[in-house]
Amino acid sequence: MKIILTGATGVLGSQIMYEILELFIRDSINGKLLLISRSKGKKSALDRINKLLSSSYTPKILKDQGLEKLDQYIEIIDTDLDSVQENFSSKIDGAYFIHSAGYVNLSTDEEHREKIFDENTKITKVILNNFHHSIKKFIYIGTAFSSGERTGIVENDFHNLDFIPQHRNAYENAKFYSENFVAKRCKDLGLPFQILRPSVICGRLMDDENKYFVSKYMVFYLLAKFFYLAAQRTTEQENVRFMINEKTGLNIIPVDYVAKIIVSVFRRDDIQQLNIVSHKSLNLVKGLELIMDEMGYKNYTIIRNAPHFEYQNTTEKLYYESIGKHLKPYLVTSAKQFNTTLLNSILEIPVLDDETFTQLIRYAKLHKFKDVNI
């Protein structure tokens, strides 16, 4: 079996890499995992991958194998994704192509829109157009939030809708556009494909090994980080008003669960689209209360969405001119849930309750929200 993976040094991609290698070892598969990765500063792609395979957060089953044994399963193509040459196609003949690399940026700033869109669409087009004739199947890792503004129950099929989704930022729009390109292009080519969409990724929860670990703190973690730092200041805590739809929630899913699902289904021909999400979204008001309590920031107020909003103090201004303006569209959005029947039949979805969410935030605080530099 040959599998090619992009984004192996990323938050989700690294976990997918771990799961694939575990699959090879556990099922005694004579497999080859080809990783398209690039150098970063003085670190070669090999250095970066070896760090992931020999760190304190590497799964024990892989560490016990040792780098020498693991390297037998891996081939690294040290290049930027947009520089991959067509002669590379001979190496991936008959491979499953899992495209996990992406540019996650929830910015609502107009000046960033074009870059976010291009980073998430151009490379997907290049890869698929260059290598479709060599690969066995194309698996695209999207986002459940390419569903856009929705209410009610969201099904797995995003491509046979009787309406055009309204997206909240360039990232959502770019991922939805890329999905549509993949679906149409693969259908035209007769190439099997899958679109797998995780929701907001949090730390590991599937077992006690490296529990709560995530390599990069994003989305709700960034809100927690902002108020963790704000609470450390010696000055009096200033009141911050949060505009929140009290009925809506944030769908959060553990990174290791997402990776396990991807590795469980990428060979299945009966699944073409799948949202990898929690049964139930975490209520935003409750989630905010848990974050602020854990961070020690007590002075805040929840208000309805206000179209004309003037900052009342420095902390509020700093929040809304940084992470707040990008999170706001998610805080005021309509309530929705996902249909998880198919997903839960593949692997039981872990419950993310208030206590578990608090532990995730506490772990991040304990580690001072420090991202792993790979």
- Distance between CA 12 and CA 52 in Å, rounded? 12
Lowest mean pLDDT among 26-35, 157-166, 289-298: 157-166
DSSP 278: -
pLDDT digits (tens, 9 = 90+) for 232-248: 986 889 999 999 999 99
pLDDT digits (tens, 9 = 90+) for 76-133: 988 777 666 655 667 788 999 999 988 888 888 888 888 888 888 888 998 898 888 8
DSSP 282: E
- For range 8-21, the mean pLDDT: 96
Q: What's the gap between Cα 121 and its chain centre?
A: 16
Whether residue 4 is predicted with pLDDT greater than 90 in this model: the reply is yes
Q: Which CATH superfamily is domain 2-202+251-276 in?
A: NAD(P)-binding Rossmann-like Domain (3.40.50.720)
- Distance between CA 16 and CA 35 in Å, rounded? 11
- pLDDT value of residue 93: 87
What residues does each domain of the chain span? 2-202+251-276, 220-250+282-336+353-366
- pLDDT value of residue 349: 98
Q: Count other Cβ atoms within 10 Å, centred on residue 351.
A: 11
Supply angle C-alpha 72, 32, 267, rounded to 5: 150
Which residues pair with residue 34 across a beta bridge?
4, 75
